[in-house]
């Protein structure tokens, strides 16, 4: 009777069969997982082939790029336009010829007086604007030989289809660009409390302002290169020393006083790059070193 019960119920056989199937499934699981991984990788590869890559986000620009060629054109035109010598009128005509094209009368609308002369001592770009009428209006500040104050000449320029710059119309005399006395940035940096850094900056700026390349080099990091200013100054004192970006932030803002050989006094501000050198760094002992002064070196 017990054997018959086992045969009719099938309980032990079912348990044995289920265990065998489970064992085979477990044995095949790594193979199935591997095949699934291969399938996922194949699908990802096909997607990368047929689907175009998403474009990288383009950083927003705060304004139009600076076009130095247009500015150079405007300055060159202003010099030619404002310079004349009644004894040599052909010289002005030759100077203006590269700037004045069809549609604008000879002399760009200015007929100089029949006596005397005028020179441009210096000229520089004072402002760049984009008028509603189109094109670009570049205001050039120019110091004339017969004037105590600079004049401001607005020069309209455009570019042709081939990229060539041309005078887009007659110039105009304008007032100087608006300006006002602003405020020094209110950014409050963390004061430099480490005396080794403070002493390094004082010593380096003293040698930098004096043009002493040999003594300055003793405080430079191995790859740093510093160009010295053209005027020699004597460091008077360091009024403020602040980290640019938190303590040990890689640079220090130094507000200093200085005097020139003729007795003139200045308050100046410099950004001095600093870093701590490792004891094992070739040619340098442990301690702080200068990586740049104001102008960041491409090799630092």
Domain 195-293: CATH architecture, name and number where available: Roll (3.10)
Cα-Cα-Cα-Cα dihedral of 105, 111, 114, 119, to 10°?
A: -120
Say what the pLDDT of residue 113 is.
Answer: 92
- Residue 13 clears pLDDT 70, i.e. is over it: no
Q: Over the Cα atoms of the chain, what is R_g?
A: 37
For the stretch 222-267, pLDDT in tens is 777 788 888 889 999 998 999 987 676 688 999 999 999 988 999 9
In whole angstroms, what separates CA 283 from the centre of its chain?
A: 32
Task: Give the model's pLDDT for residue 15.
Answer: 55
Gap between the Cα atoms of 68 and 124, Å rounded: 12
Statement: residue 179 has pLDDT above 70: yes
Q: Is residue 219 within 8 Å of residue 289, measured between CB atoms? A: yes
Q: Is the pLDDT of residue 298 over 50?
A: no
- Between the alpha carbon of residue 38 and those of residues 4, 30, 31, 279, the distances in Å are 51, 12, 11, 51
From its phi and psi, is residue 112 left (phi > 0), alpha (psi between -120 and 50) or beta? beta
Taking alpha carbons only, the member of 75, 81, 84 closest to residue 128 is 75
**How much is the average pLDDT of 87-100?**
93
Tens-place pLDDT, residues 112-147: 999 999 999 999 999 999 988 888 999 999 999 988
Closest to 199 measured CA to CA, from 223, 225, 222, 218: 218
CATH number of 68-174: 3.10.450.540
Residue 7 binned pLDDT confidence (cut-offs 50, 70, 90): very low
**What is the overall mean pLDDT for the chain?**
81
Rounded (to 5) percent helix, strand, coil in the chain: 30, 25, 40
Digit-coded pLDDT (tens) for 187-232: 557 899 899 999 999 999 999 999 999 999 999 987 777 888 888 8
> Each residue of 67-83: pLDDT tens digit?
899 999 999 999 999 99
Instruction: Give the residue carrying structure tokens 């670009």.
Output: 136
């Amino acid at each position: 009777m017990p054997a018959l019960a086992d045969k009719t119920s099938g309980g032990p056989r079912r348990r044995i069969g289920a265990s065998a199937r489970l064992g085979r499934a477990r044995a095949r699981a790594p193979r199935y997982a591997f095949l699934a991984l291969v399938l996922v990788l194949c699908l990802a590869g096909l997607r990368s082939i047929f689907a175009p890559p998403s474009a990288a986000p383009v950083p927003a620009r705060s304004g139009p790029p600076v076009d130095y060629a247009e500015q150079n054109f405007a300055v060159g035109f202003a010099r030619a336009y404002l310079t004349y010598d009644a004894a040599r009128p052909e010289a002005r005509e030759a100077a203006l010829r590269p700037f004045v094209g069809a549609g604008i009368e000879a002399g760009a609308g200015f007929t100089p007086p029949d006596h005397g002369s005028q020179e441009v001592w210096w000229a520089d770009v004072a402002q760049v604007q984009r008028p509603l009428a189109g094109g670009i209006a570049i205001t050039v500040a120019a110091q004339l030989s017969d004037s105590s104050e600079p004049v401001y000449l607005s020069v309209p320029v455009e570019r042709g289809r081939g990229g060539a710059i041309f005078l887009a119309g007659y110039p105009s005399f304008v007032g100087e660009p608006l300006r006002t006395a602003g405020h020094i940035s209110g950014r409050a940096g963390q004061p430099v409390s480490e005396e080794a850094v403070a002493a390094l900056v004082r010593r380096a700026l003293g040698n930098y302002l004096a043009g002493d390349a040999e003594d300055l080099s003793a405080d430079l990091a191995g790859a740093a290169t510093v160009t010295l200013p053209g005027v020699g100054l004597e460091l008077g004192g360091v009024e403020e020393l602040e980290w640019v970006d938190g303590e040990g932030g890689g640079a220090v803002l130094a507000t200093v006083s200085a005097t020139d050989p003729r007795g003139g006094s200045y308050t100046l501000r410099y950004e001095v790059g600093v870093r701590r050198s490792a004891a094992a760094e070739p040619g340098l002992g442990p301690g702080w070193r200068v990586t740049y002064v104001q102008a960041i070196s491409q090799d630092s």
